[in-house]
Structure 1
Amino acid sequence: MKPYNTEQTKKEEVREMFDRIAPTYDMLNHTLSLNIDRLWRRRVVRLVRRFAPRRILDVATGTGDLAIAMARRIRGTQVLGVDLSEGMLDIARRKVAEAGLDGRVVLDTGDAERLFVSDSAVDVATVAFGVRNFGDLDAGLRDIARTLREGGRIVILEFSTPRNPLARAFYGFWNRRVLPRVGGMVSRDRKAYEYLPESIGEFPAPERFLEMMSRAGFRNCKARSQSFGIAHIYVGEK
């Protein structure tokens, strides 16, 4: 599925969508998730820190929240954040500068399916709430695997549909009724905040996504449910 259903490719529409909503993205993201997204990112950082990485690639880095958190909390690491949207990257660059992390976090325009990173160049690759927006999910996973050294890890944080009936009912109400109205009103792009929750329903179930990770070249793939299955943290080893 695509945000605007025009003749553009999904990748082109996703870039346009995030450029449009970039100014209000952080505020809406934290508010509409009731700040649970911050908790999930902290868990990702703690997990990545266990691998003691020196070089991290953060794909679909957006406004840089995860890249900044990893640079702050993992001593000696260098983070390269890439994203399709220059609008999101502009905000990320300001946040990096304000945090005094210019020397630790580098941000650049990048396509997950054709990363400009050399083979076996990074220790850990991360993606937070970005894989469901890939134009070609299989191609994106394969190219991320290419950039990892042997034994390197991929850590993905992504929304999912809860299996618990009560959690699924609440989640469905929030995504169908609240998020499009509030997100659309604040960002002035209702279609973006209709697409974002709908894309969660289109994303593969955890078991299916683990199979895709395995096909892309990862082993020991595992999924960790977060907050009654509202999100999952996926981990794999090259």
Structure 2
Amino acid sequence: MFSEIAPRYDLLNRLLSFGADQRWRARAVALALEGRPRRVLDLATGTGDLALLLKAKAPEAEVVGADFAPPMLEIARRKAQQRGLGVRFLEADALALPFPEGHFDAVTIAFGFRNFADYPRALAELHRVLAPGGRLVLLEFPPPPKGVFGLVYRVYFQRVLPFVGGLISGSFGAYRYLPESVEAFPSPEALKALMEKAGFAVRYELLTFGVAAIHLGVKP
């Protein structure tokens, strides 16, 4: 599914979020780089937006982008070459990462964690590849917020977004999957509890009235 929508993925991210996704990614990058990491993994990197932003903001750091959709990675590599940014992109499974224990000082995931088949197992792998004191930054869509804004957002998310996304990408199934996966995703508090159970010290912040959320987990 992700391979199928790769050619229109970046355009639809900008369009369907009204450009807010770029602000959300900038915040995630700022949190990831606070500790001046030497090695950073951007997992579920997709077309590489977050990995490339990490490298642009921290050129001295080694940045690796990993994903399981080869067409997405090909776009990421082209973007890195065009921008002159030395990011290594590779195909990998989030539940069995090909890296040694404690290899990274920071791991970022933007809008990919909810697609993992096993959240506890993924968190255990992320904990394993992080060095002590390392940071895990998860940027995700929590279930729509409550109240009037949440009601309006839910109508947009469940009706307008799948139609526009499907029309432009040619894959209506992919953009029906998006709101379905968000509705089924743990609440911010529930995700915090999952991360704490995996061994992280966790705090989170809500963005744009709760449309998105960033969880910061630190490995003791």
TM-score in same-fold range (> 0.5): yes
Are residue 93 (structure 1) and residue 77 (structure 2) matched? Answer: yes
Deviations 1:4-41 (A, max 9, x none): xxxxxxxxxxxxx0010001111011101100000001
Residue of structure 2 in register with 1:115 after alignment: 97
d(CA) in 1 for partners of 2:116, 2:145: 24
Amino acid at match of 1:89: L
Q: Distance in 1 between matches of 2:121 and 2:213?
A: 21
The Cα of 1:166 is off from its aligned counterpart by 1.9
Superposition RMSD in Å: 0.9
**2:94 maps to 1:126:** no
Distance 1:229 1:161 in 2: 9
- Pairwise CA distance, 1:47: 1.5
Counterpart pick for 2:39 among 55, 61, 66: 55
1:179 aligned to 2:161? yes
1:157 corresponding residue in structure 2: 139
How far off is 1:170 after superposition?
Answer: 1.7
Counterpart of 1:228 in 2: which secondary structure? helix
Aligned length: 219
For residue 228 of structure 1, what is the amino acid of its counterpart?
A: F
Q: Distance in 2 between matches of 1:75 and 1:185?
A: 38
Spell out, residue by residue over 1:139-193, the C-alpha distance to the aligned partner (whole angstroms, 9 max, x if none).
Answer: 1111011000011110010011343412211211111111111111111110110
2:63 alignment counterpart: 79
1:229 aligns with 2:210: yes
Deviation at 1:51, TM superposition (A): 1.1
In structure 2, give the amino acid aligned to 1:202.
A
- The runs of 4+ residues in structure 1 deviating greater than 6 Å are none
1:190 corresponds in structure 2 to: 172
Q: Quote the Cα distance in structure 2 between the aligned partners of 1:98 and 1:75.
A: 16
| 2:186 counterpart residue number | 204
Q: Secondary structure at the residue paired with 1:234?
A: strand
Task: Return the alpha-carbon distance in structure 1 between the equivalents of residues 187 and 55 of structure 2.
Answer: 31
Residue identity (%): 44
Is residue 162–residue 228 contact of structure 1 (8 Å, CA) maintained in 2? no
Alpha-carbon deviation of 1:75?
A: 3.8
Q: Secondary structure at the match of 2:89?
A: strand
Structure 2 residue identity aligned to 1:142: A
Which deviations, in whole Å up to 9, do the C-alpha atoms of 1:98-137 show, x marking residues without a partner? 11013xx100001110000110000001100000000111
Corresponding residue for residue 145 of structure 1? 127
> Hey, what's the Cα distance between the residues in 2 that align with 1:176 and 1:197?
6
Q: What 5-or-longer segments of structure 2 have no aligned partner?
A: none
Q: Within the alignment, does 1:136 sit opposite 2:118 as a pair?
A: yes
